[in-house]
A = this chain, B = another copy of it.
């Protein structure tokens, strides 16, 4: 019997989503944890990045993921938001690397396509797909935690992990 854990990350400086999914041979996938690292409005960038660094270190120490899946940036939206997301992304990738965990990147399009079969799926459809896949009674809240789980599931489905 083999077990693997994937940590999904939806990066951001204000809200950074995370979610860990466990795959075990002959068992359905299971959510280990999911949530968000969040700082109050107007918190200086440096404090936010330090908070993300410390929190993500703690999450990794506690859940011991084997691989990390992180959303790749895609610019159809606000460029200023994109910058802060990239700053948070840099810190998240650093933490995973410091723990020697392999890191994989997927675009929002790939994640939507993998979870729902449709690259332009709506947020609500994505949340429902995550809920059904993980066999949960309610959708995961907040949104960024569900997005992080979606990134983790995408990586598992696109590699051997989901078919242990």
Residues of A within 8 A of B (CB): 45-47, 49-50, 53, 73, 75, 79, 82-84, 86-91, 93-94, 96-98, 103
Contact = CB atoms under 8 A, between A and B. Distances in A.
Contacts of A84: 86
A47 to B, nearest CB: 7
19 contacts: A46-B93, A46-B97, A46-B103, A47-B97, A49-B90, A50-B94, A50-B98, A75-B79, A79-B79, A82-B83, A83-B86, A84-B86, A86-B86, A86-B90, A87-B87, A87-B89, A90-B90, A91-B91, A91-B94
Most buried by B among A47, A73, A88, A96: A73
